[in-house]
Structure 1
Amino acid sequence: MKLLGISGTIIGAKTSILVQKVLDEAKKLAPEIDVEMLDLRDYQMSLCDGRDPAAYPDDTKKVIDLVSSADFYLIGTPIFQGSMTGALKNLFDHIPPQAMRNKVMGFVANGGTYQHYLVIENQLKPIAGYFRAYVAPGFVYAHADHFNKQNEIIDEDVLSRISNLAQELVHMQTALKGASSVSNQ
């Protein structure tokens, strides 16, 4: 089983720190899980225009293949102007809907106001619905105040929610994998 963490921004560090922390917690809970980080800062992706992924001149096809091959996901984004990043939306636009169908998905986000957590409920979860993914019931939203000057997460409640989200992801994926192996017999 491969858990893919996606840091859906091309700037800043807090989102990738949040994503990595959940991945680390999931790996502690289930060492047999392969975890991988897809940090959009490390890739060049074209804007989605509907062409064959192989025709893009950059990392676009590689990223699509990486996302499509994962068994479950943790998706993170900073919140800019009350919305997810354009980089993350562009990634979603590139992914064929069947690639995420019936897979578990969890969310983390960070931002500068305490109200931005609503983006997870009002934008990210509906996208998961479009992909027909199973959504972990919990999520993590971290405000800039939850980090110290070295970008370490210092808020105990946020750290607790990170642990809970990792547990939910592992539990849901394990149960789903078990159910699918039973139904295939």
Structure 2
Amino acid sequence: MESFWRNAGIQLGKHWKIVAASMVAITVLLGIGLTQVEFATGQDSYLNPDSQIAIDNVDFQENFGGETVIMLFTAESDAVDVTALVDPPNLAELDRLTAELESIPNVYAVITPPVSLTFSDSLVKGPGRNALLAAASRDEAGAAVRGEDISIGLARLGTVETQELGEPGWNDILVFGNDGFDLVDGELTAPADADRV
């Protein structure tokens, strides 16, 4: 087999002009073919164009440009406290805005801070709490980290007497994660307000 490859190399070397011309011709043909390649990344690549889903999606894209409408709240100053957004008077105004947006005929879903808080509230009070406890023993590699986070989460839950939307302590649990909290000898230590995430 080695002699075959050695002989092929010698023959190709003797006729290097033909080999070079062949390689140029192949490259040109592949280059021409490459210009004919089309990539289809639209919904017609994975949806039957006659299906109701595809028809509805095209209608949505024509009305909204194919993009989700997102409004982002930002604070330009470090002095702004994001928790003020979910204080009862602001929640009431945001609830009013949510209802107003939901009443628009062509709006099918609205997710505002109150909707997000309600979702988090339902998760933490209901199946989320049970899932949190069940997750502790899932895989051994992250068990210690999960166990610590679960302990902090449960300790934080224990500090709130009234678990209702609009209550400052409950809002803090729903808005901020466990990052920066420490639990040492059963004592929960919170991070500085500026360090909460």
Q: Which TM class, normalised by the smaller chain length?
A: under 0.3
Could you tell me the TM-score, scaled by structure 1's length? 0.21
Higher Cα Rg, which structure: 2
Greater relative contact order (Cα < 8 A, sep 6+): 1
Structure whose residues are more often helix by fraction: 2
